[in-house]
Amino acid sequence: MAGAKGVALVATVLYSVLVTCGFAAGAWLPAKATWYGAPNGAGPDDNGGACGFKNTNQNPFNSMTSCGNEPLSFLDGAGCGACYQIRCVNNPACSGQTKTVMITDMNYYPVARYHFDLSGTAFGSMAKPGLNDQLRHAGIIDIQFQRVPCYHRGLYINFHVEAGSNPVYFAVLVEYVNKNGTVVQMDLMESRPSGKPTRVWTPMRRSWGSIWRLDSNHVLQAPFSLRMRSESGQEVISHQVIPANWRPDTNYRSVVQFR
């Protein structure tokens, strides 16, 4: 398990990659776009995806979602929740207007270095009025994209304790992250740590997508505080957001957000 210096180094490297690729600098880059799922849907039939997000057909996702291939998902899921502006080019049905999408799923079969496999809704949103289906019929189109901050207006970070969590195993989905949209490190603090003189932060590890886990060698003592670090190095702490009587498959809304 990586120490604090290792975590900081990973965060710095990730942010450097973003700047180098132009994602953080606002440069438009070329990409290919396809779409999947229902023509007016959010992608997967269950409105989820490989990032672990749920109800992607509802606010704040609003079906404006996309799969990202490895250069867009940063180390097997670390880019889940990132936001991008996209616009289509070189097709007569394209409006040329920019739309914002969020990475909620993984694209395992890219057709280009940068490949957005969009929901039917997001793909069609790039069309001129009345030409949504015509654009979708094109199949693969040329687009341009740039990384942009995420703004989930009026929402604080939400934690969904995953099914299967128990007194010695804790897994949590992190949703609605502003700014970078992603979390590169999470830590958990127990209220009464077993055998320890003081409360300490215990590093969690990415399970998959936006789900973080902690496998403990003792019964975890709730309530829990959670600390998150973004790609740019900003940290926020949600104090005792997971109550003593927490339950699996339950949402716990914080009162913190990246600014």
Residue 139 belongs to domain with CATH number: 2.40.40.10
Q: Does residue 201 lie in a domain region?
A: yes
Phi/psi at 64 (nearest 5 deg)? -90, 70
Phi-psi region of 129 (alpha: psi -120 to 50; beta: other; left: phi over 0): beta
Residue type, 191: S
Q: Work out the burial of residue 210: count CB atoms within 10 Å of its CB; fewer than 13 is exposed, 13-18 middle, 19 or more buried.
A: buried
Q: Are residues 97 and 219 in the same domain?
A: no
Q: What is the pTM of this model?
A: 0.88
Output the pLDDT for position 199.
76
Q: Are residues 137 and 116 in the same domain?
A: yes
Q: Are residues 166 and 76 in the same domain?
A: no
Q: Are residues 37 and 142 in the same domain?
A: yes
What total number of domains does the chain contain? 2
Q: Does residue 165 lie in a domain region?
A: yes
Q: Does residue 139 lie in a domain region?
A: yes
List per-block mean pLDDT (blocks of 10 residues) for the chain, which spans 259 residues.
38 39 67 97 96 96 96 84 96 97 94 97 98 96 97 96 98 97 97 71 96 96 97 96 98 97
Strand order in the sheet with 250-253: 205-208, 211-215, 169-175, 158-161, 250-253
User: Residue 90 sits in which domain range?
Assistant: 4-148
Q: Which of 103, 125, 148 is the last residue of a domain?
A: 148
Exposure string of 89-98, with b = 16+ CB inside 10 Å and e = fewer, is eebebbbeeb
Q: Are residues 107 and 225 in the same domain?
A: no
Output the pLDDT for position 23.
53
Q: Are residues 136 and 229 in the same domain?
A: no
Nearest of 259, 22, 17, 31 to residue 149 by alpha carbon:
259
Q: Which of 115, 148, 181 is the last residue of a domain?
A: 148
Q: Does residue 259 lie in a domain region?
A: no
Output the pLDDT for position 22.
41
Q: Are residues 174 and 63 in the same domain?
A: no
Output the pLDDT for position 229.
97
Q: Which of 118, 148, 178 is the last residue of a domain?
A: 148
CATH code, domain carrying 214: 2.60.40.760
Q: Are residues 239 and 183 in the same domain?
A: yes
Output the pLDDT for position 195.
61
